[in-house]
């Protein structure tokens, strides 16, 4: 499949420079980082969350981190849970399940980004399938994410 059409169009519209990397088929972002020889802190993953009203929020964190739902609840006074992949697939119709890019704005999804990603020199993320990655500079990624909420809500995996 390569890069998802919606994502490609969005990046082109925003005049973002990026490259596409091919890797062996993987199912988890931490596994992708390993096979592509990318430090986990530079591999970005998307975690779909759902609030008590059925609204979705895309949490963007490093692959070697996990969402701290208690922190998000305390910060936003909302009860958030992990959204089941099979229930959110329709929101990312041109992507494979489990390969959602972190650019939720391209899909009309609200996004929250963990502050730990703000100073990355390079960023990699799923291009919409399990064999292609987008690579861009941290500066380009920060530009893309300038209009989303930045917060401290993730914690490093142990």
Where in the chain are the domains?
5-156
**5-156 under CATH 1.10.760.10, yes or no:** no
Share of the chain above pLDDT 90, in %: 78
| Contact present, 135 and 21 (Cβ < 8 Å) | yes
User: What does the mean pLDDT of the chain come to?
Assistant: 93
Position 85 scores a pLDDT of 84
- Mean pLDDT score, 38-44: 92
DSSP string, 85-126: HHHHGGGGTTS-TT---S-GGGGT-EEEEEGGGTT-SEEEEE
User: Is 11's pLDDT higher than 70?
Assistant: yes
């Amino acid at each position: 499949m390569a890069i998802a059409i919606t994502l490609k169009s969005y990046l082109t519209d925003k005049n973002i420079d990026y490259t596409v990397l091919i890797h062996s088929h993987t199912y988890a972002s931490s596994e992708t980082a390993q096979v592509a020889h990318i430090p986990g802190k530079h591999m970005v993953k998307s975690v779909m969350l759902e609030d008590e009203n059925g609204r979705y929020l895309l949490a963007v964190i490093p692959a070697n981190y996990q969402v701290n739902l208690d922190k998000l609840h305390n910060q936003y006074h909302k009860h958030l849970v992990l959204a089941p992949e099979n229930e959110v697939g329709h929101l990312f119709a041109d992507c494979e399940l489990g390969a959602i890019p972190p650019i939720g704005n391209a899909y009309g999804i609200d996004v929250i980004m963990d502050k730990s990603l703000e100073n990355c020199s390079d960023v990699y993320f799923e291009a919409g399938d399990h064999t292609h990655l987008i690579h861009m500079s941290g500066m380009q990624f920060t530009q893309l994410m300038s209009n989303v909420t930045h917060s401290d809500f993730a914690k490093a995996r142990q």
